[in-house]
């Protein structure tokens, strides 16, 4: 008997229109857990580096986390993994909502798509019955519209649907996969779904999931629920509101946007507006949100309400959560009403709410600086807000300049030339980042930005405070009930962290401490992504209900795998290293590991090099960021080093290390 997981994956060959239910190997679950971990193993085994994003041999894997569908609160994440058209590396993007538990109840842990359908299709999974069906009538339809049509056609109001919009169909590199209550947006995974000509996957499942030790498991679940309730009533004092409570940042419930609007950058991630948040703006934005928001909503099996349904005059209702509330407003330099209105259309098109506004603002910056001209943008309206609608339309249809812009700022700048690359200034590994421009280097964030392979800083950070508390007595109070730390040394790091003087940034926390902190934060995110736990109840928060001390109990009682903290750390290191190995095999090296060029004004090149060296060493990677043979052997990943040797990756890295500056390889 398999516990927590179903033990079966659905393999769908779109070229041959062949569907097979395949039993998975329980030893893989012990080694790589599930979700991201087993997705990474499948990509390593089956997608060699010669396969590009739009090859029929690329896989698009929808993996439910190991604990999804069990009674554990907030375990509802679908982890979508593939090769990204934008970064050319492994993409793994998560979505909450209801889809992953429904897939488990239908009897599957993963849906693995390979090949390409000649015509637009959708997949209908109804327990044991699985069909590839014609979707020609859905071509060009919006993502939510598609879900509604399919539920009606199938007469299945309870079915869960993932779908793409026009952006995915036209292979826009930052196309998302939408799910009504959530979306998987990073890495252009929607473009891969569009390339495979799959418009949607509809799931209805009515089965059960077994857990190994139900009594112990429910005790753990109840403890988590009680803690969530307690934390809601007792926010953490002294930290910014989004970290004081739990959940994805409660953007749809709050009105005070002073922190975001004055600290994040506007336009093409350039301009800080330090006195933006006035009483007048607050009143106007309050009225806008109150009249647009119909209700606050949750994901499957979660008492929190991080999202909201929005209804704007004359437009269909749609769902929004988190910082996408502000991204369109701030890129456009407009108001909240405009941001919420254009976001409705962008969501129907299926676009990443972080990248899309930046790409449009980038285009207008090029236009204002004469790099793009009226000849490149025939028909560009005069009105600022209309310009954004026009650009959105050009991008999702890949019309005119929209064809270049649809590839993201990095590739668009290369194609446009004439100095445009200077304006694509907010990328890491060729992907747009949060529009943040700050003063002094923060070594913790430096390492997370450089070495993160998830391409989204909010999905790396969380467990350690972002900044020191000014007074030691506050710090002492903070560490008192900080039981989530893996070791008490983290409390000491924080206690001794001062705003000014010897123990302040950038030289405190010291290099080994910074590495230790980043390693802890990253580990927690990777655990979430294998188990399917929402980071809003776990790794994104300072004192979350899920942590390194109770996760092993959940895995033991839930999946029946004998687990302790050391084994869990080892398993997490194993698939985290496998993600890196996939990317190393695809050409990622130290030169790619850097923050956006102008993220911090004040930089410390020597310290930065020391940080990278030390972190690489801690992780068992060489100076090029390549996992060493010894560290791979320790993790039972000898098959990776064998592959690296065969491909000459170690030999090439030795010769690169002996040269001063390796030439840039864009893997074009």
Query: Do 96 and 182 meet the contact criterion of CB atoms below 8 Å apart?
Result: yes
In angstroms, what is the minimal distance from the CB of 534 to ligand SF4? 3
Closer by beta carbon to ligand SF4, 341 or else 456: 456
Q: What is the DSSP letter of 533?
A: B
Stretch that binds ligand SF4, among 184-192, 295-303, 337-345, 493-501 (CB under 6 A): 295-303
Query: Do 165 and 351 meet the contact criterion of CB atoms below 8 Å apart?
Result: yes
The contacts of residue 199 (CB under 8 Å, 6+ apart) are 120, 121, 122, 135, 138, 139, 141, 146, 163, 164, 169
Closer by beta carbon to ligand SF4, 539 or else 653: 539
Query: Which of 523, 354, 519 is closest to 447 using CA atoms?
Result: 519
Site string for ligand SF4, 296-315 (x = CB under 6 A): --xx--x-x-x---------
In angstroms, what is the minimal distance from the CB of 390 to ligand SF4? 33
Site for ligand SF4 contains 536 (CB under 6 A): yes
Closer by beta carbon to ligand SF4, 35 or else 627: 35
Residue 108: CB atoms within 10 Å:
27
Site for ligand SF4 contains 65 (CB under 6 A): no
In angstroms, what is the minimal distance from the CB of 263 to ligand SF4? 22
Interacting positions 429-488 with ligand SF4 (CB under 6 A): none
- Of the candidate residues 58, 143, 176, 248, the single one contacting ligand SF4 (CB under 6 A): 248
Cα within 13 Å of Cα(454), Cβ side:
21
- Of the candidate residues 35, 74, 85, 468, the single one contacting ligand SF4 (CB under 6 A): 74
Locate all alpha helices (DSSP H) within 426-564, ordered by sequence: 443-451, 472-480, 489-495, 511-531, 551-559
Backbone torsions φ then ψ of 345, nearest 5 degrees: -70, -40
- Of the candidate residues 247, 350, 462, 544, the single one contacting ligand SF4 (CB under 6 A): 247
Interacting positions 78-117 with ligand SF4 (CB under 6 A): 96
Instruction: Tell me whether residue 403 is exposed, middle or buried, using C-beta atoms within 10 angstroms of its C-beta: 0 to 12, 13 to 18, 19 or more.
Output: middle
Burial string for 141-180 (b: 16+ CB within 10 Å, else e) reads bbbbebbbbbbeebebeebbbbbbbbbbbbbbbbbbbbbb
- Of the candidate residues 537, 584, 626, 649, the single one contacting ligand SF4 (CB under 6 A): 537
Closer by beta carbon to ligand SF4, 281 or else 296: 296
d(CA 295, CA 189): 29
Stretch that binds ligand SF4, among 15-23, 58-66, 466-474, 532-540 (CB under 6 A): 532-540
Site for ligand SF4 contains 249 (CB under 6 A): no
In angstroms, what is the minimal distance from the CB of 330 to ligand SF4? 22
In angstroms, what is the minimal distance from the CB of 216 to ligand SF4? 23
Instruction: Tell me whether residue 266 is exposed, middle or buried, using C-beta atoms within 10 angstroms of its C-beta: 0 to 12, 13 to 18, 19 or more.
Output: buried
In angstroms, what is the minimal distance from the CB of 158 to ligand SF4? 19
DSSP string, 395-427: HHTT-TTHHHHTTHHHHHHHHH-TTGGGG--SE
Closer by beta carbon to ligand SF4, 101 or else 536: 536
- Helix orientation angle between 324-332 and 336-349, rounded to the nearest 10 degrees: 110
- Size of site (CB under 6 A) for ligand SF4: 13
In angstroms, what is the minimal distance from the CB of 77 to ligand SF4? 8
- Of the candidate residues 364, 444, 534, 635, the single one contacting ligand SF4 (CB under 6 A): 534
By residue count, the chain amounts to 668
- Helix orientation angle between 36-46 and 511-531, rounded to the nearest 10 degrees: 90
Closer by beta carbon to ligand SF4, 240 or else 296: 296
- CA torsion, ordered 442, 535, 255, 97, to nearest 10 deg: 150
In angstroms, what is the minimal distance from the CB of 74 to ligand SF4? 4
Stretch that binds ligand SF4, among 262-270, 349-357, 494-502, 531-539 (CB under 6 A): 531-539
d(CA 437, CA 601): 8
In angstroms, what is the minimal distance from the CB of 302 to ligand SF4? 3
* Site residues, ligand SF4 (CB under 6 A): 74, 76, 96, 247-248, 298-299, 302, 304, 306, 534, 536-537
């Amino acid at each position: 008997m398999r516990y927590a997981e179903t033990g079966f994956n659905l393999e769908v060959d779109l070229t041959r229109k062949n569907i097979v239910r395949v039993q998975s190997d329980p030893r893989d679950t012990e080694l790589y857990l599930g979700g991201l971990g087993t997705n990474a193993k499948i990509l390593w085994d089956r997608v060699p580096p010669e396969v590009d994003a739009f090859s029929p041999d690329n896989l698009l894997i929808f993996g439910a986390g190991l604990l999804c569908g069990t009674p554990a609160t907030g375990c509802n994440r679908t982890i979508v993994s593939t090769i990204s058209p934008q970064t050319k590396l492994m993409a793994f993007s998560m979505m909450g909502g209801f889809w992953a538990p429904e897939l488990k109840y239908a009897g599957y842990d993963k849906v693995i798509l390979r090949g390409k359908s000649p015509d637009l299709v959708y997949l209908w999974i109804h327990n044991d019955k699985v069909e590839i069906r014609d979707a020609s009538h859905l071509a060009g339809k919006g993502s939510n519209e598609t879900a509604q049509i399919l539920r009606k056609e199938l007469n299945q109001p309870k079915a869960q649907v993932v779908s793409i919009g026009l952006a995915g169909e036209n292979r826009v590199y930052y196309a998302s996969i939408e799910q009504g209550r959530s979306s998987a947006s990073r890495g252009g995974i929607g473009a891969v779904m569009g390339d495979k000509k799959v418009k949607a996957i509809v799931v209805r499942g009515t089965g059960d999931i077994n857990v190994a030790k139900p009594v112990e498991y429910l005790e753990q679940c109840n403890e988590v629920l009680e803690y969530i309730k307690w934390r809601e009533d007792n926010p953490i004092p002294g930290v910014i509101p989004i970290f004081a409570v739990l959940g994805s940042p409660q953007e749809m419930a709050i009105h005070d946007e002073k922190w975001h609007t004055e600290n994040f950058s506007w336009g093409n991630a350039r301009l800080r507006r330090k006195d933006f948040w006035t009483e007048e703006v607050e009143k106007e934005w309050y009225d806008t949100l109150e009249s647009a928001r119909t209700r606050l909503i949750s994901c499957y099996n979660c008492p929190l309400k991080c999202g909201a349904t929005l209804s704007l005059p004359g437009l269909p209702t749609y769902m929004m959560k988190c910082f996408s509330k502000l991204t369109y407003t701030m890129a456009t330099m407009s108001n909240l009403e405009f941001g919420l209105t254009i976001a409705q259309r962008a969501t129907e098109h299926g676009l990443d709410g972080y990248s899309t506004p930046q790409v449009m603002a980038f285009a207008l910056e090029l236009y204002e600086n004469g790099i793009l001209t009226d000849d490149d943008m025939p028909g560009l309206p005069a009105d600022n807000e209309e310009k954004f609608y026009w650009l959105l339309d050009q991008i999702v249809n890949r019309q005119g300049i929209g064809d270049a812009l649809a590839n993201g700022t990095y590739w668009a700048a290369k194609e446009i030339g004439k100095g445009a690359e200077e304006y694509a200034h907010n990328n890491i590994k060729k992907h747009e980042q949060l529009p943040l421009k700050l003063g002094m280097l923060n070594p913790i964030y430096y390492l997370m930005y450089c070495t993160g392979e998830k391409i989204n800083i909010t999905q790396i950070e969380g467990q350690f405070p972002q900044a020191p508390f000014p007074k030691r007595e506050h710090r002492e109070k903070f560490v008192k009930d900080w039981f989530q730390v893996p070791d008490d040394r983290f409390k000491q790091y924080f206690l001794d962290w001062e705003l000014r003087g010897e123990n302040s940034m950038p030289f405190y926390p010291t290099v080994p401490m910074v590495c230790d902190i980043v390693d802890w934060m990253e580990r927690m995110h990777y655990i979430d992504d294998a188990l399917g736990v929402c980071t809003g109840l776990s790794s994104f928060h300072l004192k979350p209900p899920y942590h390194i001390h109770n996760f092993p109990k959940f895995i033991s009682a839930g999946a029946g795998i004998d687990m302790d903290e050391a084994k869990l750390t080892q398993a997490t290191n194993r698939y985290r290293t496998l993600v890196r190995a996939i990317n190393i095999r695809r050409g990622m090296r130290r030169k790619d590991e850097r923050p956006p060029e102008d993220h911090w004004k004040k930089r410390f090149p020597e310290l930065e090099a020391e940080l990278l060296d030390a972190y690489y060493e801690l992780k068992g990677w060489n100076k090029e960021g390549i996992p060493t043979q010894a560290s791979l052997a320790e993790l039972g990943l000898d098959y990776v080093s064998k592959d690296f040797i065969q491909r000459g990756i170690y030999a090439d890295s030795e010769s690169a290390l002996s040269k001063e500056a390796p030439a840039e390889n864009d893997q074009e």
